[in-house]
Structure 1
Amino acid sequence: MITLQQRTIAHFDLDCFFVSVECQQDSRLKGQPLLIGGSSDRAVVAACSYEARRYGIHSAMPMKTALRLCPHAIVRSGDLENYSKKSREVTDIIAGKAPLYEKSSIDEFYLDLSGMDKFFGSLKWTAELRKAIMKASGLPISFGLATNKLVSKVATDEAKPNGQLEVLSGEEKSFLAPLAIEKIPMVGRETASQLRRRGVETVKTLSEVPISLLEAWMGKNGISLWKKANGIDESPVVPYYEQQSISTENTFPADTIDMVFLHAELVRMTEKIAFELRQQNKLTGCVTVKIRYSDFETVTRQMSIPYSCADHILLEKVKELFKKAYDRRLLVRLIGVRFSHLVQGNYQISLFDDSQEMIALYQAIDHIKNRFGWQYLMKGTNVLPPDSKDRHRPATDIMPYLKR
């Protein structure tokens, strides 16, 4: 039996993924300060090249600010459909070769290679997989190889751009020790600022702070930080198929052909599970709509889409699928919506579609839904008047008619 100490975990990360895809489409962009995002005054940077980063530009920065820092930067609006296609290409390559893998975002993967050393040699096998990905996709990719997910991810970051790095068993702490605390995943600006005010600047110093003191400073997050600083991470590689879908459906008390009601119900259901996606920090790459008629015939229609978790994008796809699926003029007994092919990473993807106002709007909407419940804030098209149409909707799901 393989113990946690004997694990071998590889972390793959497509380097500057969106930028790399753009450069693949137009070789003239290589080596240029390139910004991906909208061009309006209120747009934000979704991604930027290494050349642009030298000017202090980073993702989520207002595009206007980025262009002040680097006036000669090239701006591309981005092509999320193409990025999603390339992500799926790489996923297919990994799925065809890896014994166990987790797609943790549109451009990141964890592979559990535990036990493979007995047969192939994990480093050699992983290096060959990297070459296969680069040859097939034409994109640069880096990997880190270590005994757990945390150290392998940090190793990947240190191997970039377009490199590879192995951290041997027993060398985790010494590898992490000289690094700045910001190198630890999930240590953001606020956490780093709190630690630096207390004189903690490197991972080594953080690892030497008593765990009880870190807990006093930061609660449960302090315990997690101490473990990370000491190279401890027992989280498993989650098989990709285990996080494939999220769905909802409604069987009506009375069969109906009321299109106003059916469309309102589609809006309600889509908003409900889109909110769940954002709560789980996930994106969907496939949308399915299900209809069951009064004679119990069931029809489903689905389509692959550019990864998204935005209501306005998903609603458009759901309505399009419903229109295709509803091809019989019979009463409807049930409708359902499912999002599948899920990956992590909602925030960065939303930058492609959204201005600063749109991002702020979604954050405000989700804040209200978190506080009062998702059903207390919906699109106006989903608020049915208090008449006979309400008989179709379960009492627990009827939205208050904006009286609050």
Structure 2
Amino acid sequence: MREEKQIIHMDQDAFFVSVEIRKNDTLKGKPIIIGGTSDRGVVSSCSYEARKYGVHAAMPSRMAKLLCPHAVFIRGSMDAYSEASHEITAIIKERVPLFEKASIDEHYIDMTGMDRFHGCMKYAHELRETIMKELKLPISFGLSVNKTVAKMATNECKPDGEKNVGQPDVVPFLNPLSIRKIPGLGEKTFIKLSDMGIKKIFTLAQIHPDHMNALLGKSGLQLLQKAKGIDNSPVIPYTEQKSIGTQCTFKADTIDVGTINNLITSMVMDIAFQLRKKNKLAACITVTIRYSNFEDVTKQAVIPYTSLDNVLIEKAKDLFRQVYTKRMLLRLVGVRLSSLVNGFEQIDMYSESTTQYNLVQAMDKIRNRYGDKAVTRASVMDLDI
């Protein structure tokens, strides 16, 4: 008989807000909005007190001010949030057999088979208590038979909650919920199904697979499986080696620093674009060089989670300056981004302007339509090394 899976989904409660409260406990209990404060600013995160007024992530800051004029607006610090994320991951890594870092503030943990040693619910509770005690950050978790139901259990018990949905309880737990609660169900699909009268998971689960396939294709069949509480996706082991990168061997060994810097710019733009296509953020960047005598030298740096070209280009060039210490000819240079997590760049929130973010978005649209090399910076157009 196949062993029943035991999957824990842990998610920080209003993560960015919680980090700000940890720095300044006078903010506790107040409506807090993290994000840009300009007319074109966007809400990145908000406290549960602010959510009571209808404020939510991705809302224009101007509208948030109208809904909750007495809220405390904070621009935020991705450095602080990235550091807190690493702290949480370090605690989990020490205490569980297998985990996946799904985003900057959520983790999946596979505890299958561990019930014979200690109850999974008890263990998850103790892990949650440890995180809250050591890091002073609130967190909730759901425990169930797969990732989808575990995540939905977490969402139903937030904030500051714990919920266990065993196999016999999966269908009764899911049936009364809105289809909007299903992870991965987008706004367009929600509207389409709602217009057909499909608003509850119970109704969705009754639809014949052929009809769902005709309606939404492969994604429709996956959605139907989730509505029935079925999800066979594994917890993917988290490793710091998870990365994306590229390197270039020169046609002839060179000492032309200007050209190499332009090459680094081009390389970073390419891999940052690939990063954004996969909806990923990186927290580590590595630059490698190879001298003409085949000596390899590597330098890396931990950075706030990002996928923006100019941030990564600046850091890559800085690492190159640090690593290139011998005035010898070079035959190779490489750039790699690692410590990847799922997520999107926070708009108009930190040192990056809305203009810069919009520029990256516009360039990505052109690349997606006309190819990866359709648009680039003028400084890298004539590279031939």
Common fold, TM-score beyond 0.5? yes
The question of whether the paired residues in 2 share the 8 Å contact of 1:44 and 1:356 is answered with no
1:5-404 alignment, distance < 5 Å: 6-241=4-239, 244-348=242-346, 352=350, 356-384=354-382, 390=384, 392=385
Q: Distance in 2 between matches of 1:243 and 1:344?
A: 15
- Judge which range, 351-360 or 297-306, deviates more: 351-360
- CA distance in structure 2 between the aligned counterparts of 1:133 and 1:58, rounded to whole angstroms: 26
- 2:181 and 2:241 map into 1 onto residues whose CA distance is 27
Task: Give the 3-state SS of the residue equivalent to 2:193 in structure 1.
Answer: helix
Q: Distance in 2 between matches of 1:67 and 1:330?
A: 57
DSSP-derived class of the 2:167 partner: coil
Distance between the aligned counterparts of 1:356 and 1:61, measured in 2? 15
* TM-score normalised by structure 1 residue count: 0.92
SS at match of 2:183: coil
The separation in 1 between residues aligned to 2:43 and 2:25, in whole angstroms, is 21
Q: Determine helix, strand or coil for the equivalent of 2:224.
A: helix
Cα deviation for residue 357 of structure 1 reads 4.5
SS at match of 1:185: coil
Q: Distance in 2 between matches of 1:339 and 1:27?
A: 35
Structure 1 residues 205 and 342, CA, compared in 2 at 3 Å: closer, same or farther? same
Whole-angstrom distance in 2 between the partners of 1:202 and 1:322: 55
Corresponding letter in the other structure for 1:35: I
* Deviation of the 1:362 alpha carbon: 2.7
Structure 1 segments unaligned to the other structure (5+ residues): 393-404
Q: Is there any run of 5+ residues in structure 2 with no aligned partner, and where?
A: none
Q: 1:132 to 1:23 in 2, by over 3 A?
A: same
Percent identical: 48
The answer to whether the 8 A contact 1:173-1:230 is kept is: yes
Distance 2:350 2:47 in 1: 16
Mapped contact 1:62–1:356 kept (Cα < 8 A): no
Distance verdict in 2 for CA 1:149–1:200, change over 3 Å: same
Question: Do the aligned partners of 1:67 and 1:73 also contact (CA within 8 Å) in 2?
Answer: yes
Q: Cα distance, 1:355 vs. partner? A: 5.2
Moved more, 210-219 or 147-156: 210-219
RMSD over aligned CA atoms reads 1.6
Contact 2:240–2:338 (CA under 8 A) maintained in structure 1: no
User: How many equivalent residue pairs?
Assistant: 385
- Stretch of structure 1 that moved more, 13-22 or 356-365: 356-365
Give the SS at the match of 1:31.
coil
Alpha-carbon distance in structure 1 between the residues aligned to 2:13 and 2:360: 28
- Secondary structure of 1:240 counterpart: coil
Once the two structures are overlaid, the 10-residue window that deviates more, 160-169 or 35-44, is 35-44
Q: CA deviation at 1:312?
A: 1.2
Residue 356 of structure 1 deviates from its aligned partner by 5.0
